[in-house]
DNA sequence: CTGTTAGCGCCTTCAG
DNA sequence: CTGAAGGCGCTAACAG
């Protein structure tokens, strides 16, 4: 491995001078700078970040902790985050939590050990509080994306869940639905809680009735959807829903599949809409009506806030950025479309 | 920051003893081990990886360099790679190249500086040779996924392009097509070259004619597809194709969009099939016929080979793993489906 | 089983 | 403008 000592020897200067050249210190004569740079080129020297971090206390590495990189929603967040991080010279360390708090916890420990400069996280839910406290205790800045955790303050960028839910419900009501079910994420996740609250609020505002059975609490990335949907479709007491609102793309798509297995037609027999587009590439034949959240912006803005925080350029007060989503009406909620 | 010195002082032992406890060295008395561990708990000590790497020469960080995390194909590779890496205690540093060799080059420099233990890469193309040589020169192991680069040897995991292309062409021929066009990736990318070669081979094997204009060389993640498709559809000399084969999901979806803008119906007016599924979540209403490559396995196996190489457990000879793909016939190539 | 010494590659600090 | 000394946190290598 080529070190500053090798360069120094060959250039007949001290290692310190080499270090200064590398770091573009102002106080270097043009002559020595050129000489040193030539030798750096010649020996193909690359600075060792590990060593540098040991004294500088910064690694220029930030981490993105998300539930699942294979979900297009988080993938798009990752893309936005990566673009911004790259722009500021930070590298991105990726972590998948699979919506499991313990996996998340282990990741946080690894990140702490790796001395990352900051963390952009979509926390699994309330249990995240414990490991987020670890970050806070060690003064590692972090920013919430998509979800937040009660009891711990941090900058936050998320979708406007209330507004988005209202839009989706309004659309369904407009289509004539009076009995709408919600298949939600786990109540420990802030976005699920907010969507549930906004959902019932919206129903009431539209003068609609709802029963507890109309709202199902499940998971964002795995569950037995056939059973869930079947139970929903066999509701007799409070009446069978004519529309289902799914709290994310994964639930949405799996609801469609379950309905198909039951030989129910969408939208003829039942309408379906969801949060987040399941299509990463704008598609030719999209089907599902969705409220598309600006995932790229979430990643981009979240990373921007994080970097500002890391570099001490952020205001003392924590910021909260609410991003609007776009209602994309497609076939799954419209019967009268050619 | 809590260091082994803090622990040592409080435990009345030397820092070295603390180091031994952390690293589960065998020669530590049960008593001191417990005492030290208790204080580690109490002070909430987390080892500094940077410092450790400085002497150990390993970072337990591997990098994944791919063209675009927002493409579901690479996303799924990333997921497989992350799962395997995590399983072996490695963290994943992510890099997007956007299919640009210079961006890729800058990333490699950053990775080298970060002292990553290895790199799993889907190279942009032949120009990658230069920076891959840098890796090789510094003995940083790397493994190719999806694509390889001529002139430099490394373990490789990729789809069986010849076989896959054959299957796709056979399917189209079976559907009665005699004039098939290929919208391919750039010739600098090995997978594009192999697909082109396999494509013409397959046409010949099926006794079909082809003209140079039937094969269009474009890019995997951006281009003016309306113009490309329009030029293809206005071929008069050699005849207008009745089917288009797209070399990846992005091209496939954009071809569909371009055709729709031209008011051409798929599959009635023209059939379309592509490599790689554009759907990250198995969808309810899939449309495009695809040859789905096992992207998850590519990431998983690629990372496995990389880790074996890093840990000196790989055979001297470079391995080449060819993965079969699955032909999923959907509406875009079938007229007679209910 | 435990401690001492030295050094990983670089940078801060202080001299000159 | 340049250099020497010391240290970042940890661990090999050697003593005891």
Using one digit for the tens of pLDDT, what is the confidence trace for A34-46?
Answer: 999 999 999 999 9
A50 pLDDT above the threshold of 80: yes
* Burial tier of A317 (Cβ tally within 10 Å: 0-12, 13-18, 19+): exposed
CA distance, residue B205 to nearest chain A CA (Å): 32
Nearest protein residue to nucleotide C7 (CA to C1' distance) is: B55
pTM: 0.94
- DSSP-based three-state secondary structure for A66: strand
Distance B5 CA to D15 C1' (A): 21
In whole angstroms, what is the distance from residue B75 CA to residue B295 CA? Answer: 8
Cβ distance of A50 and B54 shorter than 8 Å:
yes
- The answer to whether the beta carbons of residues B306 and B278 sit under 8 Å apart is no
What is the SS3 assignment for chain B? CCCHHHHHHHHCCCHHHHHHHHCCCCCCCHHHHHHHHHHHHHHCCCCCHHHHHHHHCCCCEEEEEECCCCCHHHHHHHHHHHHHHHHCCCEEEEEECCCCHHHHHHHHHHHHHCCCCEEEECCCCCCHHHHHHHHHHCCCCEEEECCCCCCCCCEEEEECHHHHHHHHHHHHHHCCCCCEEEEECCCCCHHHHHHHHHHHHHHHHCCCCCCHHHEEECCCCCCCHHHHHHHHHCCCCCCCCCEEEECCHHHHHHHHHHHHHCCCCCCCCCEEEEECCCCCCCCCCCCCEEEECCHHHHHHHHHHHHHHHHCCCCCCCCCEEEECCEEECCHHHCCCCC
* pLDDT tens for each residue of A89-148: 999 999 999 999 999 999 999 999 999 999 999 999 999 999 999 999 999 999 999 999
- pLDDT of A288 reads 86
B/e letters for B40-70, b = 16+ CB within 10 Å, e = fewer, are: beeeebbbbbbbbbbeeebbbbbbbbbbbbb
**Strand D within 7 A of B56 CB:** yes
Distance A85 CA to D8 C1' (A): 26
Blockwise average pLDDT, block size 10, chain B, 338 residues: 92 92 89 92 93 92 94 94 96 95 95 96 95 94 97 96 96 94 96 97 94 94 91 80 94 92 92 89 77 96 97 95 94 72
Nearest to B79 among A69, A283, A287 (CB): A69
Distance B42 CA to D6 C1' (A): 31
- pLDDT of B237 reads 62
Instruction: Look at residues A166, A180, A169, A164 and name the one whose alpha carbon lies nearest to residue A291.
Output: A164
Instruction: Look at residues A247, A189, A193, A227 and name the one whose alpha carbon lies nearest to residue A71.
Output: A247
- The answer to whether the beta carbons of residues B283 and B328 sit under 8 Å apart is no
Q: Chain A interface, mutation test: which of B48, B49, B290, B333, most A Cβ atoms within 10 Å?
A: B49
Q: Chain B interface, mutation test: which of A1, A4, A46, most B Cβ atoms within 10 Å?
A: A46
CA distance, residue B201 to nearest chain A CA (Å): 30
A337 pLDDT above the threshold of 60: no
- pLDDT of B332 reads 87
In whole angstroms, what is the distance from residue A316 CA to residue A199 CA? Answer: 34
Element (H, E) at A76: helix A72-87
Rounded to 5°, angle at Cα B33 from B31 and B34: 70
- DSSP-based three-state secondary structure for A235: coil
Give the residue from chain A lying closest to B111, CA to CA. A91
Cβ distance of B70 and A72 shorter than 8 Å:
yes
- pLDDT of A287 reads 81
* Burial tier of A95 (Cβ tally within 10 Å: 0-12, 13-18, 19+): buried
Cβ distance of B96 and A115 shorter than 8 Å:
no
Enumerate the β-bridge partners of residue B62: B92, B118
Provide the 8-state DSSP code for A262.
Answer: T
Q: What number of C-beta contacts closer than 8 Å exist between A and B?
A: 161
Cα-trace Rg, chain A = 25
Element (H, E) at A309: helix A295-310
Nearest to B278 among A51, A94, A281 (CB): A281
- pLDDT of A278 reads 86
- pLDDT of A8 reads 92
Distance B173 CA to D1 C1' (A): 76
Distances (CA, A) of A290 to A167, A171, A172, B180: 10, 11, 11, 36
Mean pLDDT over each residue of chain B, to the nearest integer:
93
Give the residue from chain B lying closest to A71, CA to CA. B280
Distance A39 CA to C16 C1' (A): 26
- The answer to whether the beta carbons of residues B337 and B331 sit under 8 Å apart is yes
Give the residue from chain B lying closest to A85, CA to CA. B95
- The answer to whether the beta carbons of residues B258 and B229 sit under 8 Å apart is yes
- pLDDT of B27 reads 83
Q: How many CB atoms lie within 10 A of CB A174?
A: 11
- The answer to whether the beta carbons of residues B284 and A260 sit under 8 Å apart is yes
* pLDDT tens for each residue of A171-184: 999 999 999 999 99
CA distance, residue B237 to nearest chain A CA (Å): 29
| D strand bases under 7 Å from protein CB | 1-13
In whole angstroms, what is the distance from residue A286 CA to residue A309 CA? Answer: 39
- pLDDT of B338 reads 42
The two beta strands, B118-121 and A289-292, are: unpaired
Instruction: Look at residues A204, A191, A296, A207 and name the one whose alpha carbon lies nearest to residue A247.
Output: A191
B161 phi and psi angles, rounded to 5 deg = -60, -40
Nearest to A54 among B54, B72, B253 (CB): B54
Rounded to 5°, angle at Cα B39 from B37 and B40: 60
Instruction: Look at residues A139, A142, A138 and name the one whose alpha carbon lies nearest to residue A153.
Output: A142
In whole angstroms, what is the distance from residue A82 CA to residue A76 CA? Answer: 10
Nearest to B54 among A51, A70, A280 (CB): A51
**Strand D within 7 A of B48 CB:** yes
Cβ distance of A115 and B91 shorter than 8 Å:
no
- pLDDT of B188 reads 95
- pLDDT of B26 reads 85
Q: Chain A interface, mutation test: which of B57, B75, B120, B287, most A Cβ atoms within 10 Å?
A: B75
**Strand D within 7 A of B60 CB:** no
* pLDDT tens for each residue of B17-57: 999 999 998 888 888 999 999 999 999 999 999 999 999 89
Collect all residues with Cβ–Cβ distance below 8 Å to A258 and sequence separation of at least 6. A225, A226, A228, A229, A230
A95 phi and psi angles, rounded to 5 deg = -140, 130
CA distance, residue A81 to nearest chain B CA (Å): 11
Please provide the distance, in angstroms rounded to a whole number, between the alpha carbons at the two ends of chain A. Answer: 67
What average pLDDT does this structure show over A51-77?
93
- The answer to whether the beta carbons of residues A176 and A187 sit under 8 Å apart is no
Instruction: Look at residues A255, A204, A265 and name the one whose alpha carbon lies nearest to residue A232.
Output: A255
Distance B305 CA to C6 C1' (A): 37
| C strand bases under 7 Å from protein CB | 1-5, 7-13
């Amino acid at each position: 491995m080529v070190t500053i000592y090798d360069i120094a020897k060959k250039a007949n200067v001290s290692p310190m001078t080499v270090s200064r050249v590398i770091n573009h210190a102002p106080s270097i004569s043009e002559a020595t700078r050129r000489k040193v740079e030539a030798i750096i080129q010649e020996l193909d020297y690359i600075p060792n970040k590990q060593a540098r971090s040991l004294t500088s206390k910064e690694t220029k590495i930030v981490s993105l902790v998300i539930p699942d990189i294979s979900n297009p929603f988080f993938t798009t967040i990752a893309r936005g985050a990566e673009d911004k991080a790259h722009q500021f010279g930070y590298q991105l360390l990726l972590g998948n939590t699979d919506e499991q708090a313990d996996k998340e916890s282990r990741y946080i420990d690894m990140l702490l050990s790796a001395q990352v400069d900051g963390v952009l996280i979509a926390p699994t839910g309330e249990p995240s509080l414990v490991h987020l406290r670890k970050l806070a205790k060690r003064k590692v800045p972090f920013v919430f994306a998509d979800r937040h955790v009660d009891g711990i303050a941090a900058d936050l960028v998320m979708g406007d869940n209330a507004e988005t839910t209202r839009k989706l419900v309004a659309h369904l009501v407009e289509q004539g639905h009076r009995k709408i079910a919600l298949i939600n994420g786990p109540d420990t996740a802030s976005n699920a809680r907010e969507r549930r609250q906004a959902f019932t609020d919206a129903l009431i505002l539209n003068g609609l009735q709802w029963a507890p059975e109309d709202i199902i609490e499940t998971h964002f990335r795995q569950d037995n959807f056939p059973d869930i949907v079947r139970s929903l479709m066999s509701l007799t007491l409070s009446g069978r829903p004519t529309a289902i609102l799914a709290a994310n793309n994964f639930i949405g798509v799996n609801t469609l599949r379950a309905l198909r297995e039951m030989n129910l037609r969408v939208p003829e027999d039942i309408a379906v809409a969801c949060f987040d587009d399941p299509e990463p590439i704008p598609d030719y034949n999209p089907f599902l009506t969705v409220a598309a959240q600006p995932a790229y912006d979430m990643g981009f803005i979240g990373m921007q806030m994080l970097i500002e925080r890391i570099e001490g350029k952020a205001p003392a007060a924590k910021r909260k950025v609410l991003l609007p989503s776009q209602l994309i009406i497609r076939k799954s909620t419209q019967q009268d479309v050619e």
